[in-house]
Amino acid sequence: MIAYTLQRLCYVVLVIWVMSVLIFGITQLLPGNVAYSILGQFATDRQIAEVEQLLGLHDPWYQQYGRWLMHLLEGDFGRSIVMQRAAGPLILEAFSRSALLAGIAITLVALIGIWLGTHSATHRGKLSDRLLTLLQYFFIAVPEFFWAILAIILFSAWLGWLPATGYAPIAESGLWRWAAHLLLPVMTLVLGLIAHVSRLTRSSMLEALRSTYVLTARAKGLPERLVLRRHALPNALMPAITVLAVDVGILIGGVVVVETVFAYPGLGRLLIYAIEHRDLPLLQAGMMVVTAVYALANLVADLLYAWVNPRIRYRASVA
Amino acid sequence: MSIAVASPGRRLPANLTIGATLVALFIVLALLGPLIAPYPFDQFNVRERLSAPNLAHWLGTDEFGRDVLSRILAGAPYSLLMGFGASAISLALGVPLGLVAAYYRGIGGELIMRGVDVMISVPPILLGLLILAITEPSLWKTIVAVGLVYVPIMTRVTRSVALGLLGEEFVEAGRARGESAFYILFGEILPNAWPPIIVETSLRVTFAILLGSALSFLGLGAQPPMSEWGLMIAESRPFIEQAPWIGLAPGVVLCILLISVNLLGEGLREALDPTFSARYGK
Amino acid sequence: MNVLEVDGLSLRYATSRGPLLALDDVSFAVPAGGALGLVGESGSGKSSVILALLGLLGAGADISARALVFQGQSLIGAPIPRGDRIGVVFQDAGAALNPALRVGLQIAEPLMTHRRLPREAAIERAIALLGEVGVRRPREIAAAYPHQLSGGMKQRALIAMALSCEPELLLLDEPTTALDVTIEAQILDLVEDLRVRRGLSLLLVSHNLGVVERVCDDLAVLYAGRIVERGSSERVFRTPSHPYTKGLLGAIPRIEHGLRRLVPIPGGLPDLTQPIHGCNFASRCPFMVSACATPQMLFDLGERHAVRCHRAQALSDAAWPSEEAAHEPRLRAGPPVLEADEVSKTFLLGGLLSRLSLARGWPRLEPPREIRAVDRVSIVAARGEVVGIVGESGSGKSTLARLLLRLIRADRGHLRYVGREVPDLPGPEFRRRAQIVFQNPDSSLNPRKRVREIIARPLSLFGGLRGPALDQRIDALLDLVRLSPAYRDRYPHQLSGGEKQRVSIARAMASEPDLLVCDEAVSALDVSVQAAILNLFADLRDRVGVTYLFISHDLSVIAHLADRVVVMYGGAVMESGGIEEVLKPPYHPYTEALLSAVPVVGARERAQHRIRLPMEAPEPGQGCRFAPRCPRRVGTICDDVEPPVHEPAAGHRIACHIPLDQLERMEPALLRPGPGSEPRSRPTG
């Protein structure tokens, strides 16, 4: 197990490093002049040359890359060109808000999705199963941004129950308003993913129920609920962990869209903003943070899976 | 691993026929769009702006008085192109890469797979954003970007299918005859590999449409005045309360398209891999 | 008093083609303390019997019976004491054990459920049970997960699980089919021992007649869902009365029967969705008459022997008509077709990342694990000869087959074909001349090609044939393997297992090879189909003069076909020589163990000399590969020093540290056959 953790850590470091090269490399291809963007369109050639010199923009690319990487590792995330502030605190604050959203979302997806999936599998063919399957089918086909629009139309425009945009820090506005601002974004994020996870849990649960070891458990005369809980469920959950890891990636995409629609001040919105304004340092640092977070989330999922799956956790043969 | 074959004369699954019919319908509408649309998609008619669905405008008009129905029809080709075009790109690049990685297990294959593993570790939207951030956005670039984003997963799927097939005894029998790599890959493996690859590609179509319209929604894809559905939904946001139909109509149509493609994909999977329904149940 | 009485059990499934009658009026009884074997091939319905008895068939199954009585109480409409008074051992221990739970817990579960024991007490009991089934370190095994155990160990755990609540009846479904023959012997020993010690009654379902004969007092033969013969094992084996039973017994290759032709049963199973009015075996029976079309009842032949055939008494002395006697195999002159010299292959396991470990305090890169799959093996095959290579799983025989055909690159050693050295990448000449037939009929044919295309490929590749000449050759090849030209346009999924193997053979023969390597080519087939394919191989050998390298784990099959045998263990050759010589002392200790483990039909009356190998053993060292498990191990010399090669007769080699005279004084593991079987004929020249 320890060896496995070591291997996965190496791998995570590799991924983050390659992405850093990629992010740096691609953003270097941005057309337009960085100095120009900073100084504005009325800058003189001499001013531009000065800023370029200052930022080391004429150095060979690997030097620039090295410098950027060193700064990152030291915690210096550069300066946002547009907002004229240190990018670091900006990103971290936005990240904390996105993390809140994503954290609540993934927890709900895991709990509700798995529960629905197992319920569907154990009540296979009955009305609840058929209904759920039908709903799942539709939910998977609805894009997040459309969920968002529908949610806004329903809950904000017509019913007026919930605010359509923004974020209310708990410290300032109290629990209810804070929750109210979170409700629609979270709901939008989870609906499609719950359908995905429940579908997969259902099929892996059905496969477990069809297996020889479940047959053996029944042949031992064990009560059916014990067969489900102790024999079928652990085996059905293992693929669910894998799928949740993939869903975190989809969730990140969803977060970007949802933050844009609901004007939620998170990291996704910040990234879009950085792209629109060609704010290079902000973009680079923001993407690195997202990549690192996703890589770490995958690592956690891998380790969780390895811990739960005896075939990986206990590799050696005993006899 | 046993490869299943749809035996001739078997009934096609309902999924497949319904899905295929609906998708075909969309394609027909996309092709005929300009001919059957009641108004040109970019025709301003400021007097009738923001009007609710009525006889003259079956789906109402938007903030510029443009007919929503016509815009939707005009936008159909974009979503279809997004889905099938991007998938075609990932198929064209991913399958050969996957075959090569499976057959040449040495350094070349390993490098390809490490690259793929790294790419897969990045959330798709991020890759898409990254690629699109560096150029002026347009629909075509979005299609290419989405296609590239899904190359790693096509490579991985092709490789695992090919690896499974390479272990089959009829492939060994081929090697025992001294067959060339070309014959083994194209004469023995590919005919058996394409069913799972087709199924995976149909999944990609769904994701490509989703990703592509999301990128357009974010302003990084199709640009105004194109009536791409994601973009239409984005543009409808300021008027959501007054004129929800501007956003609802393209959204609903997009969902129907996605459901149709899903049905088609599921149907293909049932038809091409009979063991699937035995394993995963209804 | 009968522990179990089954009367009139019928089972129907709903299928897309209509209701399928899987079991038809099956009746049998298991006496208290007795053991009943249910024998049948695939499609006989034998596995459904156990599931039907336990009520474990799904909702789509329609079961009906006149009576199902367990210990005097009816099971119909009443809860079945599963796991409690009736225990079950399923076939595939790897699939039957839950991979996510520790073994000890799985054994303890019935105790917790039926006897209300608390968890700790139940697990202690489970550990004791593991000890009882012969596990040496039961506490460790109980704490382990199934994937950490070997096949034999898993099967023992399954047996312990079935015995946990002290059942009165044990149901076993093919308990040893997936195991190596030496492990199988140990498990059968265990089952017999438990039966005596605990007074268990057994119902054993198997296709392996040798296993059934060994363990069971009584047996019932099942064909296409109906019992066709029933009686004590002894009587049924001595005087089989139903034609199917005669056919089955004639189809089994037996070590002591030498080269006698096997009996294949032509035709296939009837379509069970159509009601069969008369005898369901009639279409395949050589003794069929018109009266066979009337419904057949089981009737008594006396001494509890019953048979479902109205001609049974008339046919009591008739044997299944066998084809013409075996040809004299001819060895042809000329240089040996194949000579392998010290061929070796070592596999290295572990990619870069998986070799990272923390074993010695800080991260290091461990060296990759080595697996010596084939260790300096030398083989010579003369023209027209059949060389059998026998070994259990892990012996390296499949790797060897591929090395000999240059499908895998050897690390060391030479390969000569008709005197000429074969390079690592051989040219088309060698490829033409040396072909292979594989084990698994389902994966040896490209499912997307018709039979015609499959056979045409080597013909056009090597012979450049086209058009009518090509078609003629295809038909000739189909004829060679006894398939009609109608098979040309079929796809593999439309063929049966035996037919697929025939097409594989036709494909291999298309290039007119001198050498045919058969890698477990009959292992996946039913006994009656296997007999037909073995006869085919014998024909090809005699008519066409092909040289064979026949690989199998089944010593009986090898003994039937081979002139010379090579016995492999752990990648090395333990013994090699003419078949006659290898089958009697002097033996290598491993050969001795193999021979004494084979469940031989008709062996009941002789005491089979029982040599058993220990279950677990450490990795072999630099010396003899068999040393860690060898019951005759001399001392550390066996582990450290390579054994010398004795040559008691020309061409007979034994690699062992035990001196030759001691080996010659060993007891034969297989006693000489009784009167009534033909002596083996040996090739001349």
C82: contact with A, CB 8 A cutoff? yes
Per residue in C478-496, pLDDT (tens digit) is: 988 888 888 999 988 888 8
Structure tokens at B98: 């996957």
Out of A19, A145, A150, name the one closest to residue B122 (CB).
A19
Residue with the larger pLDDT of the pair C545 and C257 = C545
Mean of pLDDT values over C137-149: 91
> CB-based contacts of B254: which residues, under 8 Å, 6+ apart?
A143, A146, B79, B209, B213, B229, B230, B233
Tell me: pLDDT of C101 over 90: yes
Chain C partners within 8 Å of B177 (Cβ): 431, 435, 457-458, 461-462, 511
DSSP B61: B
Q: Which of A48, A70, A64 is nearest to A280 (CA)?
A: A64
Per residue in C304-340, pLDDT (tens digit) is: 899 998 888 888 888 887 766 555 656 667 778 888 8
What is the predicted pLDDT for the residue at A104?
92
> Is A221–C82 a contact, with Cβ atoms under 8 angstroms apart?
yes
Question: Helix, strand, or coil here: C323?
Answer: coil
> Is A219–C83 a contact, with Cβ atoms under 8 angstroms apart?
yes
* Size of chain C in residues: 685
What's the CA dihedral at B138, B144, B145, B150 to 10 degrees? 150
Please report the number of interchain residue pairs, chain B to chain C, with beta-carbon separation below 8 angstroms: 60
Q: Which of C45, C72, C74, C73 is nearest to C61 (CA)?
A: C45
Structure tokens at A294: 């996703």
Backbone angles phi, psi at C633, to 5 degrees: -55, 130
A310: contact with C, CB 8 A cutoff? yes
> Is C358–A3 a contact, with Cβ atoms under 8 angstroms apart?
yes
Chain A partners within 8 Å of B124 (Cβ): 249-250, 253
Degrees, nearest 5: CA angle C628-C632-C638: 50
What is the predicted pLDDT for the residue at A40?
66
> Is C431–B178 a contact, with Cβ atoms under 8 angstroms apart?
yes
Q: Hey, which residues does C223 pair with through a beta bridge?
A: C226
Tell me: pLDDT of C680 over 60: no
Lowest pLDDT segment from A187-196, B102-111, C506-515, C665-674 = C665-674
> CB-based contacts of C180: which residues, under 8 Å, 6+ apart?
C151, C152, C392, C393, C553
Tell me: pLDDT of C227 over 60: yes
Cα gap A157→A146, rounded to integer Å: 15
What is the predicted pLDDT for the residue at C328?
62
> Is A6–C358 a contact, with Cβ atoms under 8 angstroms apart?
yes
What is the predicted pLDDT for the residue at C325?
56
Chain A interface mutation, best of B117, B125, B215, highest count of A Cβ atoms under 10 Å? B125
Q: Hey, which residues does C653 pair with through a beta bridge?
A: C576
Out of C84, C149, C353, name the one closest to residue A10 (CB).
C353
Confidence of residue C674 (pLDDT cuts 50, 70, 90): very low
What is the predicted pLDDT for the residue at A184?
84
What is the predicted pLDDT for the residue at C259?
63
Q: To which residue do tokens 């008085």 refer? A: B65
CATH code of the region B14-34+58-280: 1.10.3720.10
Chain C partners within 8 Å of A317 (Cβ): 148-150
Contact C140, C103 (CB under 8 A): no
Out of C149, C161, C356, name the one closest to residue A7 (CB).
C356
Q: What is the pTM of this model?
A: 0.84
Which residue on chain B is closest to A137 by alpha carbon?
A: B259
Residue A210 distance to chain B (closest CA, Å): 9
Which residue on chain B is closest to A284 by alpha carbon?
A: B130
Is the bond preceding residue B40 a cis peptide, omega within 30 degrees? Answer: no
Tens of pLDDT along chain B (282 residues)? 333 444 444 567 788 888 899 999 999 988 888 888 888 877 887 887 888 888 888 888 888 888 888 889 988 999 999 999 999 999 999 998 998 888 887 777 888 888 888 888 778 888 778 777 777 778 888 899 889 989 998 998 898 888 888 888 999 999 999 898 889 988 898 888 888 888 888 888 988 998 888 888 888 888 888 889 999 998 888 888 888 888 889 999 999 999 999 888 888 877 776 543 333 322
Is the bond preceding residue C243 a cis peptide, omega within 30 degrees? Answer: no
B-facing residues of A in 171-210 (CB < 8 A) are 203, 206-207
* Intra-chain end-to-end CA distance of chain C, in Å: 62
B197: contact with A, CB 8 A cutoff? no
Confidence of residue C681 (pLDDT cuts 50, 70, 90): very low
Contact C387, C563 (CB under 8 A): yes
Residue C616 distance to chain A (closest CA, Å): 6
Per residue in C348-395, pLDDT (tens digit) is: 876 665 666 666 667 677 777 788 889 889 988 888 889 999 998 888
Please report the number of interchain residue pairs, chain A to chain C, with beta-carbon separation below 8 angstroms: 109
Cα gap C453→A134, rounded to integer Å: 45
Q: Which of B91, B89, B82, B90 is nearest to B26 (CA)?
A: B82
State the DSSP H helix or E strand holding residue A85, giving kind and residue range, or none if neither.
strand A85-86
**Exposure on the CB side of residue C300, measured as CA atoms within 13 A:** 3
Cα gap C395→C344, rounded to integer Å: 13
Chain A partners within 8 Å of B132 (Cβ): 275
> Is B255–A157 a contact, with Cβ atoms under 8 angstroms apart?
no
C353: contact with B, CB 8 A cutoff? no
Cα gap A178→A187, rounded to integer Å: 15
Q: Hey, which residues does C348 pair with through a beta bridge?
A: C370
> CB-based contacts of A127: which residues, under 8 Å, 6+ apart?
none
Handedness of CA C43, C49, C52, C57 (dihedral sign): negative
Tell me: pLDDT of C145 over 70: yes
What is the predicted pLDDT for the residue at C620?
79
> Is A143–B214 a contact, with Cβ atoms under 8 angstroms apart?
yes
Out of B177, B178, B188, name the one closest to residue C446 (CB).
B188
Handedness of CA B41, B47, B53, B56 (dihedral sign): negative
Contact B94, B152 (CB under 8 A): yes
Q: Which of A23-27, C176-180, C654-658 is modeled with the greatest confidence?
A: C654-658
Out of B168, B176, B191, name the one closest to residue C435 (CB).
B176
**What proportion of chain C, given as a percentage, has pLDDT over 70?**
92
Chain B partners within 8 Å of A140 (Cβ): 262
Cα gap B245→B50, rounded to integer Å: 9
Residue A148 distance to chain B (closest CA, Å): 10
Cα gap C597→C612, rounded to integer Å: 8
Mean of pLDDT values over C161-165: 93
Which residue on chain B is closest to C441 by alpha carbon?
A: B169
Cα gap A162→A176, rounded to integer Å: 11
Domain ranges of chain B: 14-34+58-280
pLDDT along chain A (319 residues), means of 10: 81 86 76 62 73 71 80 79 80 90 92 92 86 85 86 79 71 75 86 89 90 93 92 90 86 88 88 82 87 88 87 74
B7: contact with C, CB 8 A cutoff? yes
Residue with the larger pLDDT of the pair C655 and A174 = C655
**Segments of C185-282 assigned E as strands:** 201-206, 218-223, 226-232
A279: contact with B, CB 8 A cutoff? no
